[in-house]
């Protein structure tokens, strides 16, 4: 155990001694501890809030595109014709990502001489869904790259003035894209729910328009997975937007403003000290002059004193 701790403390894998790094190992199975010495850098480097937010962004991005991109749903309706031989009491309709519902079709009885028709669902929501998944995938890849840079190349990251600026701009862009894609996908999901509602699907079947036939819905799709994707989409927006400040602190803009503020404070403090010094000098000179005037006899006393006695005599 002592040997492992020594190996860990030899490089930037000191972060693995904290929960952040442990989660990182569980997710991607990085190198064993005995390879850490190959990437030794300054051991004073500690995991930052930015590093933690990157890890959380990776997890939430995985959940976002997995719950949306891997979704498949099914709904079932029944058509009970007046001629029982033509009835179909279990019509299954499967659909899923990318939700091009206008390409999803099923066969339904027409209740006329054993004839059947092919019915298509309505709507194409692939643009919003694919946009959402694309942003999630690219955000995951960028977060993974940033996390690796923080672990292995943090010194070079701080030495290069352009790297923090690029990181800041990309973080702002991804924050905006997460907001836009999550909002678009939330609206598209609402439309998908309407388009795949069994009661709405029945209206597309010709036999259901005849009141002599009976149509019903057996069960609708389950939306828990897609609802979760929307939640993780907005959580990703919160994470990326919250990370803007921590990335901005690494840029030259923030450091320049901090140095300017520190210089202004020092200048103000120096001016105040100079004023205090001048005030003290003025007080000393004033007290000296006052004492000098009090210690030396006045001209009136020197002249008037001696002349008054002869006058009296």
Tell me which of 152 and 296 has the higher pLDDT: 152
Looking at the predicted structure, is the pLDDT value of residue 149 above 60? Answer: yes
Q: Is 283 left (phi over 0), alpha (psi -120 to 50) or beta?
A: alpha
pLDDT digits (tens, 9 = 90+) for 264-278: 455 555 554 555 545
CA atoms within 13 A on the CB side of 232: 25
- Kindly state the tokens that stand for 82: 């007046």
Looking at the predicted structure, is the pLDDT value of residue 127 above 90? Answer: yes
Tell me which of 280 and 168 has the higher pLDDT: 168
In sequence order, the β-bridge partners of residue 108 are 117
Is 213 in contact with 111 (CB distance < 8 Å)?
yes
What's the pLDDT at 29?
37
- Provide the pLDDT confidence category of residue 53 given band limits of 50, 70 and 90: confident
Of 162-171, 255-264, 285-294, least confident by mean pLDDT is 285-294
What's the pLDDT at 243?
87
* Count of beta carbons in the 10 Å neighbourhood of residue 104: 18
Looking at the predicted structure, is the pLDDT value of residue 235 above 90? Answer: yes
For range 54-83, the mean pLDDT:
90
The phi and psi torsions of 110 (rounded to 5 degrees) equal: -95, -5
Looking at the predicted structure, is the pLDDT value of residue 256 above 60? Answer: no
- Kindly state the tokens that stand for 292: 């000098």
- Provide the pLDDT confidence category of residue 187 given band limits of 50, 70 and 90: very high
pLDDT digits (tens, 9 = 90+) for 203-227: 999 999 888 889 999 999 999 999 9
Tell me which of 168 and 53 has the higher pLDDT: 168
User: Chain-wide mean pLDDT for the chain?
Assistant: 74
What's the pLDDT at 99?
96
For range 61-79, the mean pLDDT:
93
Rounded CA separation 84/80 (Å): 7
What's the pLDDT at 19?
41
* Nearest C-alpha neighbor of 99 from the set 193, 227, 27: 193
Looking at the predicted structure, is the pLDDT value of residue 71 above 50? Answer: yes
Rounded CA separation 164/251 (Å): 5
What's the pLDDT at 259?
53
- Provide the pLDDT confidence category of residue 91 given band limits of 50, 70 and 90: very high
- Kindly state the tokens that stand for 38: 């190959």
- Percent of the chain, pLDDT > 70? 64
Name the residue with tokens 């991005």: 61
For range 182-190, the mean pLDDT:
97
What's the pLDDT at 299?
42
Q: What's the per-residue H, E or C state across the chain? A: CHHHHHHHHCCHHHHHHCHHHHHHHHHHCCCCHHHHHHHCCCCCCCCCHHHHHHHHHHHHHHHHHHHHHCCEEEEEEEEECCCHHHCEEEEEEEEECCCCHHHCEEEEECCCCCCEEEEECCCCCHHHHHHHHHHHHHHHHHHHHHHHHHHHCHHHHHHCCHHHHHHHHHHHHHHHHHHHHHHHHHHHHHHHHHHCCHHHHHCCCHHHHCCCCEEEEEECCCCHHHHHHHHHHHHHHHHHHHHHHHHHCCCHHHHHHHHHHHHHHHHHHHHHHHHHHHHHHHHHHHHHHHHHHHHCCCHHHHHHHHHHHHHHC
């Amino acid at each position: 155990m002592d040997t492992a701790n020594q190996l860990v403390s030899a490089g930037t894998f000191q972060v693995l001694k904290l929960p952040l790094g442990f989660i990182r190992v569980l997710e991607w199975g990085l190198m064993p501890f005995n390879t850490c010495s190959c990437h030794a850098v300054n051991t004073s480097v500690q995991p930052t809030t930015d590093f933690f937010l990157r890890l959380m962004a990776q997890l939430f991005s995985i959940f976002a595109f997995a719950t949306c991109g891997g979704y498949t749903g099914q709904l079932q309706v029944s058509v009970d014709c007046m001629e029982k031989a033509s009835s179909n009491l279990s019509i299954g309709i499967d659909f899923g990502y990318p939700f091009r519902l206008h390409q999803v079709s099923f066969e339904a009885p027409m209740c006329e001489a054993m004839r059947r028709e092919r019915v298509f669902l309505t709507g194409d929501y692939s643009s919003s869904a694919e946009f959402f998944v694309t942003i999630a995938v690219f955000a995951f890849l960028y977060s993974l790259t940033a996390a690796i840079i923080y672990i292995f190349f943090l010194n070079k990251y701080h030495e290069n003035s352009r790297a923090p600026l690029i990181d800041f701009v990309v973080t702002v862009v991804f924050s905006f894209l997460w907001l836009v894609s999550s909002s678009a996908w939330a609206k598209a999901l609402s439309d998908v729910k309407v388009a795949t509602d069994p009661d709405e699907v029945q209206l597309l079947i010709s036999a259901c328009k005849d009141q002599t036939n009976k149509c019903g819905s057996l069960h609708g799709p389950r939306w828990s997975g897609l609802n979760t994707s929307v939640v993780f989409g907005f959580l990703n927006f919160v994470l990326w937007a919250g990370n803007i400040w921590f990335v901005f602190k690494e840029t030259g803009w923030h450091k320049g403003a901090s140095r300017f503020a520190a210089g202004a404070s020092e200048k103000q403090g120096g001016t105040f000290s100079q004023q205090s010094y001048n005030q003290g000098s003025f007080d000393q000179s004033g007290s000296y002059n006052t004492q000098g005037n009090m210690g030396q006899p006045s001209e009136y006393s020197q002249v008037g004193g001696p002349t008054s006695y002869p006058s009296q005599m």
